[in-house]
């Protein structure tokens, strides 16, 4: 499992796609060629890997480097949500289509929206989301390096803006322990009325993004 690496109090969270072979071997995200490019572009704006947090949509490597499957993305989502909630970043940089579609909840292609910051609410946190090309795309086509460099170059001014106005509902108050253990009046139970097949519990709506 490749969970994530960096400063747990970072202002910037990078979200990639999934670990590759190097990352799988070492248990650390973005240490292969893509990671080295990301690290050197960060250095150009005066940031070290240790200053940011780096994670992925998937926490495990898909076999043969295939694209993440919908079920895998859904399965790993709660870990990414927990990372967002704990790190509380100001800026979330989504690297490539998978992270961008997941966190923007939209079908747009990264090539059409890269380098355009947006304000989005992720769980209880409102953040500046900056979609970027995936470093692997920049390794694949050299002209993309300049685009990725330009995207990363937006970070200093975004950080200078500070956190956007927090519009999410605050997390629910924890229930006091006494309320959990206080004796309760017995509640009369209604017998369920059978109407044909028992219905399955309602599933949350699925976004068809991948
Ligand atoms: N590509 C990714 O998306 N993540 C990694 O950790 C490495 C390569």
125 CA → ligand 1 middle, Å: 24
**DSSP letters spanning 155-206:** HHHHHHH-SPP--SPPPPPPPPHHHHHS--PPPPPPPPPP-SSPPPPPPPPP
Residues with CB under 6 A from ligand 1: 16-20, 23, 29-30, 32, 34-35, 56, 136
pLDDT in the model for residue 210: 77
Of the candidate ranges 43-57, 98-112, 138-152, 175-189, the one whose mean pLDDT is the lowest: 175-189
For residue 56, the ligand 1 atom closest to its alpha carbon is 4
| C-alpha closest to that of 130 among 6, 5, 15, 9 | 15
The answer on pLDDT for 179 being more than 70 is no
Query: Could you read off the pLDDT of 7-21 as tens digits, one per residue?
Result: 999 999 999 999 999
**Helix or strand holding residue 14 (H, E):** strand 12-16
Residue 197, pLDDT > 80, answer no
Measured in angstroms, how far is the CA atom of residue 167 from the centroid of ligand 1?
A: 31
Residue 27 has pLDDT above 90, yes or no: yes
């Amino acid at each position: 499992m490749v969970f994530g690496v960096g400063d747990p109090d970072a202002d910037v969270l990078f979200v990639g796609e999934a670990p590759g072979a190097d990352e799988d071997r070492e248990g650390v995200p973005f240490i292969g060629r893509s990671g080295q490019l990301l690290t050197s572009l960060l250095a150009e704006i005066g940031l070290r890997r240790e200053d940011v947090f780096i994670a992925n949509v998937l926490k495990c490597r898909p076999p043969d480097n295939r694209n993440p499957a919908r079920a895998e993305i859904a399965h790993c989502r709660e870990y990414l949500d927990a990372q967002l909630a704990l790190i509380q970043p100001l800026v979330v940089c989504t690297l490539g289509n998978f992270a961008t579609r997941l966190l923007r909840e939209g079908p747009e292609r990264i090539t059409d929206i890269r380098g355009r910051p947006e304000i989005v609410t992720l769980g209880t946190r409102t953040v500046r989301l900056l979609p970027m090309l995936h470093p692997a795309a920049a390794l694949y086509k050299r002209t993309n390096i300049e685009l990725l460099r330009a995207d990363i170059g937006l970070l200093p001014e975004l950080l200078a803006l500070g956190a956007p106005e927090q519009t999410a509902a605050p997390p629910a108050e924890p229930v006091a322990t006494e309320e959990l253990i206080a004796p309760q009046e017995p509640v009369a139970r209604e017998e369920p009325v059978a109407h044909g097949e028992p219905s399955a519990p309602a599933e949350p709506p699925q976004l068809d993004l991948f």
